[in-house]
A and B are shown apart, each in its own frame.
Chain A
C-alpha cells in the first residue's frame, strides 16, 4: 500500500524554470527519500532527509520536510530537458527495512 501521495501527478514546464512537487504521508517516519525514474527503468536515489532535518540541498535539488504536517517538497531549480522523468517520494518508517513509495509526479521539461 502507498504511504505517500504526490502532488501534482504531472507537471510540464519550460527549460530554465523551477519545478516543485509535494509529497504527503500518513505515519511517522525515520527518513524520507526522493528518487527519479527515466522511461520505466531503474530508480535513481536523489536525496534523503531524516525526520530531525527540515531542509537539505544537493546541487539543483532542494528538499524540505515538515513532520508536523507529514509533508515534503522537492524543488528542482533551473530545470533542463534531461530532468524529464518521474519523481517518487518514499518513506522509511524503521531505518532501512521497508521503503514505501508515493504515487509519483511525471515531469516534462520542454526545451
Chain B
C-alpha cells in the first residue's frame, strides 16, 4: 500500500459545528503532516507529528486540534471554524530523514 487516504473528500460545515478530518497510511512512515492550501496558493504547513508526538505547530488557531492515535492514523478535529478557514486540507506522510512526502488527495472544506 503506497497511498495516503483522506476522508471525507468534501465537507461543508457550519460555524458552530464540530467535525473531524481523517488520514490513514500503511507505509510505515513515522512522520505525518497536515497542510492547508487556499486556491491558487502553495500548501502551508500546519502540524507535524513524529513518532506519534506533535513536533511542530505552526501557530495554528486552537479551533484546529490535531490527534495521532497511532502510527497509521492522523486526525484533525475542527470546531467553531470561520468562513476564511475554507480550503483544501492535505495530509502527508514520510520517512524521517529527508525523503519525499506522500500526499493524500485532500479534503475540500467549506465553512458556511
Min CB–CB distance A7 → chain B (angstroms): 14
**Contact A45/B101 with A97-B55, A97-B56, A98-B48 known, Cβ cut-off 8 Å:** yes
Give the contacting residue for B45; candidates A41, A42, A88, A99; CB below 8 A: A99
B residues neighboring A (CB under 8 Å): 4, 31, 33, 37, 39, 41-45, 48, 50, 55-56, 88, 90, 92, 94-106, 108
Q: Is the CB of A30 within 8 A of B98?
A: yes
Give the contacting residue for A100; candidates B45, B55, B92; CB below 8 A: B45
Give the contacting residue for A45; candidates B37, B41, B100, B108; CB below 8 A: B100
Count of chain A residues near B, Cβ 8 A:
25
A residues neighboring B (CB under 8 Å): 2, 30-31, 33, 35, 40-45, 48, 50, 88, 92, 95-104
Instruction: Give the CA-CA distance A88 to B41 in the complex, in Å.
Output: 10
User: Mind listing 6 A-B residue pairs with CB under 8 Å?
Assistant: A2-B42, A33-B101, A88-B43, A101-B42, A103-B41, A103-B42
Minimal Cβ-Cβ distance residue in B for A43: B103
Max chain A CB contacts within 10 Å: which of B37, B100, B106? B100
**Contact A42/B104 with A99-B45, A103-B42 known, Cβ cut-off 8 Å:** yes
Min CB–CB distance B86 → chain A (angstroms): 13
Q: Is the CB of A95 within 8 A of B97?
A: yes
* Top 4 closest pairs, chain A to chain B, by CB: A95-B98, A45-B100, A101-B42, A42-B105
Min CB–CB distance A47 → chain B (angstroms): 8
Instruction: Give the CA-CA distance A44 to B43 in the complex, in Å.
Output: 13
By a CB distance below 8 angstroms, the chain A residues around B39 are 40
Max chain B CB contacts within 10 Å: which of A40, A98, A99, A101? A99
Minimal Cβ-Cβ distance residue in A for B9: A41
Q: Is the CB of B42 within 8 A of A97?
A: no
Q: Is the CB of A97 within 8 A of B50?
A: yes
